[in-house]
Structure 1
Amino acid sequence: MIKLKTVLVNELTFKNTLSMIEQYSIKDFLFKWVGEPPEGIDDYLPLEYTETVFAKMEAKQETDLRLFGDELFRYATITEDNQIVIGVLDSNEELTHRIISLDEVLAR
């Protein structure tokens, strides 16, 4: 299992908008990252683009994708430095951000 670097939100600068290419890139990455489910990413992990606070591909409310044991996937986004970041709720329902490095992407 890949360990992702956990960072504080004040260490990140998120984009205010994501281009269509960035949105599709996030979805494509997530599709590959979760093991290319046969039903496709839209059925396995339905996402919607939102710009509340910052731009992100957010899991719909009915989504219950658990990562790393008990962490609940909430959204994925891209920073101004073009890093992919995943937001998850931990077991205490605190929002945690994890940066996915290029090495971790290539290891998949």
Structure 2
Amino acid sequence: MNTITVDKLTFKKKLSMIEQFAIKDFLFKWVGRPAEGIDEFLPLEYTECVFAKMEAIQEKAFVINGNEHFRYATITEANQMVIGFLDWNNELKHRVLSLDEVLIGKHF
């Protein structure tokens, strides 16, 4: 997984239903296949503000890597899966996931 600056990415303006389901499926596997399902464990909302994304509902904070807060997942124009998160300094960062991470649902 690579951390990258947002100026190097071009996000899609709209996500198809298939792309939205693919993101939710990846996140379901990524968080360890919770018994209650992804919608209860990590509720997401599809938004198209600035670009299309599956955004975490603010009331439910999901922490990754100890001190980073998951914000959203999306897909670039080059069909790369990207995770947006706030770091320990509340700075928005992005990670481009490898094909193995997307297909296998590896944790990071």
5 Å-filtered alignment, 1:84-95, equals 84-95=81-92
1:54 alignment partner in structure 2: 51
Number of residue pairs aligned between Structure 1 and Structure 2? 105
Query: Normalising to structure 1: TM-score of the pair?
Result: 0.94
RMSD over aligned Cα atoms: 1.0
% identical aligned pairs:
67
5+ long unaligned stretches in structure 1: none
2:72 pairs with 1:75: yes
Query: Normalising to structure 2: TM-score of the pair?
Result: 0.94
5+ long unaligned stretches in structure 2: none
1:37 alignment partner in structure 2: 34
Matched position secondary structure for 1:6 = strand
Cα distance in 2 between the residues matched to 1:87 and 1:107 = 16
Report runs of 4+ in structure 1 exceeding 2 Å deviation.
103-108
Cα distance in 2 between the residues matched to 1:49 and 1:6 = 23
